[in-house]
Amino acid sequence: MNTATRALTRPPGWVLIPGLLGAAVILLPVIGMMSRLKWTELPALLTAPASLDALRLSVWTALVATVLCLLLGVPLALLLAHARFRGLTVVRSVILLPLVLPPVVGGLALLYTFGSQGMLSGALEFFGIRVAYTSLAVVLAMTFVSMPFLVISVETAVRGMDPEIIEAATVDGASRTGILRHMVLPLIGPGLISGAVLAFARSLGEFGATLAFAGSQQGVTRTLPLEIYLQRETDPDAAVALSLLLIAVAVVVISLAYSRSRTVH
Amino acid sequence: MDHTVNLTRARITAATTAVVLLTACADSDTRDQGAAESITVFAAASLHEVFEDIAELYTEETGTAVTFNVAGSSGLVEQLENGAPADVLATADEATMERAVEGDLIAGEPALFAENYLVIVTPADNPAGVQSLADLGDDAVETVICAEQVPCGAATGRITEASGVQITPVSEETSVTDVLGRVRNGEAEAGLVYATDALQAGDEVEAIEIEGAEEDPNLYPIAVVDHAAEPEAGEEFIDFVLTDEQAQQILTEAGFVEPQEHDAA
């Protein structure tokens, strides 16, 4: 944003108060949680094998899910942004369904589809693919709940592009794939990155669908949120420590992604 | 508009007066002077249905209404630690009650009112042909159990240790209902749950007794909460659970066993 537009978007002074209250709604509970933290026990709690396994699993499955969201969600968003037909609104609402569904229900839906008794169990067995109780189930659950975040961001970005630029390129005789690669993708870069960041963050925090679909086994399916939920049963201090670990990972990844996007554009 | 509102208001007032009068009549009939209007009972998830039934009888007899807060045992203790108001606490194992006692959350001594022991459940058609606990030592049998952090998982640990059977589960669930759920819908070939859970699932699962499980049950303690608003009514409710014949019958029909003497484990 340059200085001129920045001056134009300057809000009236009174928004400061509700704005700060808005920040407090989000920050206060986090501060409240930190007040319960036993700092001296932190290193031991965080380096326990169960914690490290959960952290490792969470990070790699969330990354794979984000890549899947990008590979499948960007084409879907391009289609949605271009499509003009009756019932498009319905199609879009269905695609955004994971945002509305309680994650546990999403997990059950995945179970009834990819579970060993699910709709696709015959086909999966034929190809020798096992989903239930594997890390693949974790990735699937994450991809299911995170995809809409990416699709919305990218579709909005595509719709916001200046059609004249694309038009000029078409006149120049560029192929559609060429236009997509050299013009559309760079133009929607910021939307793409914020969509991917949202998808990653949502994947990292995924709990309900994973619990209902994948199960809970150390190192295989028990991600950080599941480990937190389990630790809460006997050791609330460990649960608080792990929650802060989750927050730290999310903050680091998100700020890295945004700072990268700023240097690119 | 005003007219309608007034009319409705008049009706509500009339209805309220009628209710108050009726309640007053009922009061003078069945309740002693100064009896509590209502008590709050914190009950472990596995007690939900039986306690609802018992409370109905109790309310009929004493006129004291019972409000429930149902959650996992450790969740209940955590809520008490954070100042949630309650009169009675009933947990699914002694360890959790011990935590409440040590936290000075309990008035007096907890009393044991029921026992529950583990059984093996398989889907109705028992696809893996499980016949005994030893069969679960075979890794090819997809078995789900409770995580050691929750009461049913602690019981599972004691059973496997005593029998020397090494179970490698495909998932360790956070609640016994999740274990039952996975066996019920055929996603697991075997699971360890309480006898009461197996009974509740009826024909949907096959229940197989475990040798020695009955001698090492989970004990269900109940106690009046410290600083209870209605300690006398709370005591009265506990007494009702412990001694009323119909209450005992409700517990037995649900698969609970009357507490008895056991050799120290």
Nearest to B186 among A117, A230, A234 (CB): A117
Q: In chain A, which residues touch B (CB < 8 A)? A: 111, 115-117, 132-133, 211, 214-218, 221-222, 226, 229-236
The number of distinct structural domains making up chain A is 1
**Is B236 an interface residue toward A (CB < 8 Å)?**
no
The rounded distance, in Å, linking the Cα atoms of A69 and B55 is 51
Q: Which domain covers residue A235, as residue numbers?
A: 42-264
Instruction: Give pLDDT, residue B80.
Output: 93
Instruction: Give residue A142's pLDDT band: very low, low, confident or very high (50, 70, 90).
Output: very high
Mean pLDDT of A10-39: 92
pLDDT tens for each residue of B85-138: 999 999 988 989 999 999 999 998 999 999 999 999 999 999 999 999 999 999
- Residue A125 located in a structural domain: yes
The CATH number of whichever domain residue A226 belongs to comes to 1.10.3720.10
Partner-chain contact A233 B174, CB within 8 Å = yes
The rounded distance, in Å, linking the Cα atoms of B14 and B35 is 27
Nearest to B174 among A216, A221, A236 (CB): A216
pLDDT for residue A171 is more than 90:
no
Find, in chain A, the residue whose alpha carbon is nearest to that of B181. Answer: A212
Residue ranges, chain B, pLDDT below 50:
1-10, 12-33, 264-265
Greater pLDDT, B259 or A55: A55
Partner-chain contact A221 B171, CB within 8 Å = yes
The rounded distance, in Å, linking the Cα atoms of A127 and B114 is 49
Q: Report the mean per-residue pLDDT for chain A.
A: 89
Partner-chain contact A230 B186, CB within 8 Å = no
Instruction: Give pLDDT, residue A128.
Output: 86
**Is B87 an interface residue toward A (CB < 8 Å)?**
no
Nearest to B149 among A111, A115, A234 (CB): A234
Query: Which structure tokens are listed for A179?
Result: 């236009």
The share of chain A scoring above pLDDT 90, in percent, equals 54
* Closest CA–CA distance from residue A41 to any residue of chain B (Å): 20
The rounded distance, in Å, linking the Cα atoms of B112 and B120 is 25
A121 burial (CB, 10 Å; 0-12 / 13-18 / 19+) is middle
Instruction: Give pLDDT, residue A235.
Output: 84
**Contacts B142 to A, Cβ<8 Å:** 133
Partner-chain contact A233 B185, CB within 8 Å = no
Instruction: Give pLDDT, residue B23.
Output: 46
Partner-chain contact A216 B147, CB within 8 Å = yes
**Contacts B169 to A, Cβ<8 Å:** 217
- Residue A11 located in a structural domain: no
pTM summary value: 0.80
The runs of H, that is alpha helices, within chain A are: 3-8, 16-34, 42-46, 49-82, 88-95, 97-100, 103-114, 121-126, 135-159, 163-171, 176-179, 185-187, 189-205, 208-213, 224-234, 236-264
**Is B187 an interface residue toward A (CB < 8 Å)?**
yes
pLDDT tens for each residue of A200-226: 999 999 999 999 999 999 999 999 999
**Is B168 an interface residue toward A (CB < 8 Å)?**
no
User: For residue B159, which of B116, B198, B125, B124 has the smallest C-alpha distance?
Assistant: B116
Instruction: Give pLDDT, residue B235.
Output: 95
Q: Are A80 and A95 in contact (CB under 8 A)?
A: yes
Among the listed ranges A35-39, A106-110, B62-66, which one has the minimum average pLDDT value? A35-39
- Residue A12 located in a structural domain: no
Q: Which residue has the tokens 């399916």?
A: A221
Residue B184 CA: distances (Å) to CA of A210, B59, B138, B156, B189: 18, 35, 21, 19, 9
Nearest to B170 among A111, A215, A236 (CB): A215
Find, in chain A, the residue whose alpha carbon is nearest to that of B178. Answer: A212
ipTM over 0.85 threshold: no
- Residue A235 located in a structural domain: yes
Partner-chain contact B170 A117, CB within 8 Å = no
B14 burial (CB, 10 Å; 0-12 / 13-18 / 19+) is exposed
Tell me the HSE value of B95 on the side-chain side, using a 13 A CA sphere: 14
The rounded distance, in Å, linking the Cα atoms of A213 and A140 is 9
Partner-chain contact B187 A132, CB within 8 Å = yes
Instruction: Give pLDDT, residue A180.
Output: 87
**Is B76 an interface residue toward A (CB < 8 Å)?**
no
The rounded distance, in Å, linking the Cα atoms of B56 and A78 is 59
Look at strands B205-209 and B118-123 and give their pairing.
antiparallel
Q: CB neighbours of A186 closer than 8 A, spacing ≥ 6?
A: none
